[in-house]
Amino acid sequence: FSMDNPMMLALAKPVPSVEIAPSVLMPMLSFGITMQHSLFLALGGRGLDTAFDYGDKYQAELGRAVATSGLPRSAVFVTTKVPCCASSFVKDDVYSNHCHARRSPEETAADVAHDLSVLGMPFVDLLLMHWPCDSTADTVATWRVLERLALDGRARAIGVSNFNASAIESLLPHVKVRPAVNQCGFSVAGHSGIRLVSST
């Protein structure tokens, strides 16, 4: 097996895409927190997902995978996420050790600049707010940063992640650009003791 073997790409079936914003096609399958982004690209995958809170190691590996893939940047869809702070969403410190105090819009913009620098990219295809802040005002302030970065060409589309219906309903009256997606996690085997029950 060699990831340089062009046959690997020929064996993979294309992943369907959906238009999430004008002329922005997002693959229906993305590969997240791992150190195997090069393998995913070699097997025909085109959607890669990372986040500020996943750490520089994972983001740098993703950036190297894209840069060394031999694919044009336009062929790979990169998503990253930045935190909204303060937030009780991260009370267990699974991802964030810095999200227990309010962060200013300037700090959010700095988080995005850091992500882009570590990724080695001038823009991402999708920039998400990783979770809502505890207050609607702070969530809106963070969203305004994402709107500005989209207008500046740092993100082709913007959206939210881990928002429930009430968090979205609180945000929408204040937006100029509607969120393109609400990315919610689902794992085949990674459910912390929660049983999935059929409604049939």
Strand boundaries in 89-188, DSSP class E: 124-129, 155-161, 182-183
Q: Which residues pair with 25 in a beta bridge?
A: 19
DSSP 3: T
CB hemisphere CA count around 10 (13 angstroms): 4
Strand bridging mode 24-27 / 17-21:
antiparallel
Which of 65, 43, 45 is closest to 119 using CA atoms?
Answer: 65
For residue 97, which phi and psi values (nearest 5 degrees)? -100, 5
**CA trace torsion 183, 145, 61, 92 (10° rounding):** -60
Instruction: Establish whether 54 is a catalytic residue.
Output: yes
CB 146 within 8 A of CB 129: yes
Residue of 54, 89, 95, 143 marked active site: 54
Active site residues: 54
